[in-house]
Amino acid sequence: MCKAAALAGLMMITSTVAAPAAENDPLRPPAMDVSGVPAVPKELMDQLRQYQSVRNAGFRGWAPDGKGILIQTQFGNTMQLHRVYEPGGRREQMTFLDEPTDGRFLKGTQDGTLLLQLSAGGNENNQLLRFDREDGRVILLTDGTSRHTFGPQSEDGSFLIVAHNARNGRDMDLFRLDPRNPASPEKLMEVENELWDPQDLSLDGRKLLMSRYVSINESYPAVFDMTTKVRTPIPPPPGAPGKVSFGHLAFAPDGKTAYVSCDARGEFLELAVVDLQSFEYKTWLTSDIRWNVDRIEVDPKSGNVAFTVNADGASDLYLIEGRERRKLETPLGIIESLQFSDDGTQLGFTLAKPNAPADAYTILLTNGVLTQWTHSEVGGLNPARFIVPERIQFPSFDGHHIPAYVFKPRSATATSKAPVLINIHGGPESQYRPFFTGFDQLLLNELGIAVIRPNVRGSDGYGKTYLQLDNAEKREDSVKDIGALLDWIAAQPDLDKDRVAVYGGSYGGYMVLASLTHFPERIKAGVDVVGIANFVTFLKNTSEYRRDLRRAEYGDERDPEMLKVFERINPTNNAHKIHSALMVAHGKNDPRVPFSEAELIAPLVRKNNAPVWTVYADNEGHGFAKRDNRDYVTAVTAMFLREFLLTK
């Protein structure tokens, strides 16, 4: 877009903020409940449509008949499953359901049968279904109401491991489910106040690798005998500290050894080979790599091992063949969903780059040739204009250096400083990793807004010490990191310290609200998406199955001392300090951060006579998965930032 057209777009957005209220907005989806929001002009939706038409595609597996791959992508209102028959070639949509649908091929058959996973209205009570390709029928395999999770499949497809909380609404008991005869699943393990993650089945289907998750800093792997139903712990290596975190677990083809990632020897998750009879840690395979081992995939025929490393947010891909380890060259980005082809000669995966949408790729292992199977559309935009971020570190109050990714618009100069949006990830033990979003490129190319995505203390990926720097009573130290980032912005010649906004989802929403209470004179506006407003009410009202997991991270509100900390830092108790403009967006079916959190904070800030826009969805949960809702929220966000950030 030329400068004149971009300027015209900015003027057009400026003119929208005085538009009538959105109650009768013809462009507002029926499920959206809004307050304080101007009507969205059709011209704005048209302008944004290119950025909202960007697609992504995710690799979901190799077709068992050898003809193509399975992907997940979106051509209508929701993500669905499609089959692609050759690189860049024919695509066939397989599922046509109303809700976002994920899944994979059923093993042991070549008839194209799919196992599906979806939930209703974003409530995350996932159900499992079977799609029979031959007759087109979709068969519900689960009870339709409880929360379910997929586990691994047996090699012959005769069963898969599922977990559900039907017994008491909290504990995820483990079952063996026959996808062809789902009426009587076999209970494998009943749990009590624990969360077990089933990760991999041995090739003969007799053993299951699993891990009990306590917190991101503490987990306990085990081998489960499918016949005797006996669970045997896998101990950490000798000399390990009191708490050890284990990541991915995978069987070697012989079923007698396993590949595990754990941080027992230092700050990062290392890849090790463990003998499952003696539990000896026979070999450490990544001692020279100073980052977390992320994903592990083992070829069942050759025994070759592929794994990824999270290197400062980006993925490095490695292959182990016998005693040789080599790095496979891939572009800067994030690799997910690794899977060997049936003949073991290729790897399939999703690659998400910072300047291009996620797509499905394969790599030939003999020569490293990378093949892009899907070419996700970018709404007719010119990809050459997409901006790649710069990796930086900035000093914080106590000497720690905080990593961040900085996107700057081309228009930013010392004489024309760019306003800034700080986008804070959720988790909190998550991490911003460099991936493409149309929203970021919209802000950069149409509104001239710089985007900074910090990984404040408590983020994953930078070692276990860094991960624990914000736990419990240290929660607000991560907010101080935002203050340090404001100092860094003020020192940049091409960034405008007087025009800064914050944006965040989930825990990032808490960070938005906390930043507005701590730095009211330095931040002009905040966008809180499905955010926590009060840790006490959040912990009491979040879904029961995840309550104790969140207490392990945030602190236990039943502890009087921790309760005092919460009462001191809760945004609801400090809302009188917020005088910046605030936008609150939330799904009413959110099982993680209940919708009641939005209902708490919005009226409190309105009492300060601060501008407050609320955007709520009747048919969404922890985010906005349906395209019509997501497009509308994006348009409202653009109007909000233009009104409250870009004005001097």
In a domain, 270, yes or no: no
Record the tokens describing residue 415, joined without a space: 């004489």
pLDDT recorded at residue 538: 96
Q: Is the pLDDT of residue 15 over 50?
A: no
**Which of 531, 541, 535, 573 minimizes the C-alpha distance to 554?**
535
Angstrom CA distances, 374 to 66, 187, 370, stand at: 17, 40, 12
Q: How confident is the model over 80-105, as pLDDT tens digits?
A: 999 999 999 999 999 999 999 999 99
Q: Which comes out higher in pLDDT, residue 428 or 487?
A: 487
Q: How confident is the model over 127-136, as pLDDT tens digits?
A: 999 999 989 9
The residues, ordered by sequence, that sit 6+ positions from 46 with a Cβ below 8 Å of its Cβ are none
Residues 522/499, Cβ–Cβ less than 8 Å: no
Q: Is the pLDDT of residue 38 over 60?
A: yes
pLDDT recorded at residue 22: 61
How far apart are the C-alpha atoms of 627 and 564, rounded to whole Å?
Answer: 41
Q: Band the pLDDT of 279: cuts 50, 70, 90.
A: very high
The residues, ordered by sequence, that sit 6+ positions from 605 with a Cβ below 8 Å of its Cβ are 575, 578, 582, 612
pTM here?
0.89
Q: Which comes out higher in pLDDT, residue 147 or 22?
A: 147
Q: Band the pLDDT of 18: cuts 50, 70, 90.
A: very low
SS3 225: strand
**Which of 612, 584, 626, 639 minimizes the C-alpha distance to 30?**
626
CATH for 400 = 3.40.50.1820
Residue with token string 């977990």: 163
SS3 295: strand
pLDDT recorded at residue 4: 36
How far apart are the C-alpha atoms of 637 and 648, rounded to whole Å?
Answer: 18
Q: How confident is the model over 388-407, as pLDDT tens digits?
A: 999 999 999 999 999 999 99
SS3 507: helix
In a domain, 640, yes or no: yes
How far apart are the C-alpha atoms of 430 and 537, rounded to whole Å?
Answer: 22
- Averaged pLDDT for residues 297-325: 96
pLDDT recorded at residue 17: 40
Residues 454/432, Cβ–Cβ less than 8 Å: yes
**Which of 341, 292, 340 minimizes the C-alpha distance to 316?**
292
Residues 410/291, Cβ–Cβ less than 8 Å: no
Q: Band the pLDDT of 21: cuts 50, 70, 90.
A: low
- Averaged pLDDT for residues 557-561: 94
Kindly tell me the burial class for residue 192, based on how many C-beta atoms sit within 10 Å of its own C-beta (0-12, 13-18, 19 or more).
Answer: exposed
In a domain, 374, yes or no: no
Residue 409: other Cβ atoms inside 10 A: 21
Q: How confident is the model over 416-447, as pLDDT tens digits?
A: 999 999 999 998 889 999 889 999 999 999 99
Strand (E) or helix (H) holding 535: helix 535-541
Q: Is the pLDDT of residue 2 over 50?
A: no
How would DSSP label each residue in 126-147?
-EEEEE-TTT--EEE-S-SSS-
The structural domain count of the chain equals 1
How would DSSP label each residue in 554-577?
H--TTSHHHHHHHHHH-GGGGGGG
Terminal Cα-to-Cα distance of the chain (whole angstroms): 24
- Averaged pLDDT for residues 33-62: 92
| Cis-peptide into 64, omega within 30 deg | no
In sequence order, what E strands does 365-470 have? 370-372, 390-395, 401-407, 418-424, 450-454
In a domain, 570, yes or no: yes
In a domain, 94, yes or no: no
How far apart are the C-alpha atoms of 461 and 446, rounded to whole Å?
Answer: 32
Q: Band the pLDDT of 23: cuts 50, 70, 90.
A: low
- Averaged pLDDT for residues 587-599: 96
Return the sign of the alpha-carbon dihedral for residues 70, 71, 76, 77.
positive
Longest dimension (CA), the chain: 73
How far apart are the C-alpha atoms of 575 and 504, rounded to whole Å?
Answer: 17
In a domain, 555, yes or no: yes
Kindly tell me the burial class for residue 434, based on how many C-beta atoms sit within 10 Å of its own C-beta (0-12, 13-18, 19 or more).
Answer: buried
Q: Is the pLDDT of residue 185 over 90?
A: yes
Q: How confident is the model over 228-240, as pLDDT tens digits?
A: 999 999 999 999 9
DSSP class of 21:
B
Mark 436-453 as b/e (b = at least 16 C-beta within 10 Å).
bbbbbbbbbbbbbbbbbb
pLDDT recorded at residue 472: 77
SS3 394: strand
Q: How confident is the model over 496-534, as pLDDT tens digits?
A: 999 999 999 999 999 999 999 999 999 999 999 999 999
Mark 246-284 as b/e (b = at least 16 C-beta within 10 Å).
bbbbbbbeebebbbbbbbbbeebbbbbbbebeeeebeee
Return mean pLDDT, the chain. 93
In a domain, 272, yes or no: no
Record the tokens describing residue 123, joined without a space: 């409530």
Report the percentage of the chain scoring pLDDT > 70.
96
Report the percentage of the chain scoring pLDDT > 90.
85
State which residues form the domain around 490. 3-53+380-644
How far apart are the C-alpha atoms of 302 and 182, rounded to whole Å?
Answer: 33
In a domain, 277, yes or no: no
How far apart are the C-alpha atoms of 118 and 126, rounded to whole Å?
Answer: 5
Phi, psi of 319 (to 5 degrees): -130, 135
- Averaged pLDDT for residues 31-46: 92
- Averaged pLDDT for residues 289-308: 97
Q: Is the pLDDT of residue 8 over 70?
A: no
Q: How confident is the model over 189-236, as pLDDT tens digits?
A: 999 999 999 999 999 999 999 999 998 999 999 999 999 999 999 999
Angstrom CA distances, 443 to 408, 425, 450, 570, 647, stand at: 10, 17, 7, 30, 15
Record the tokens describing residue 4, joined without a space: 């004149």
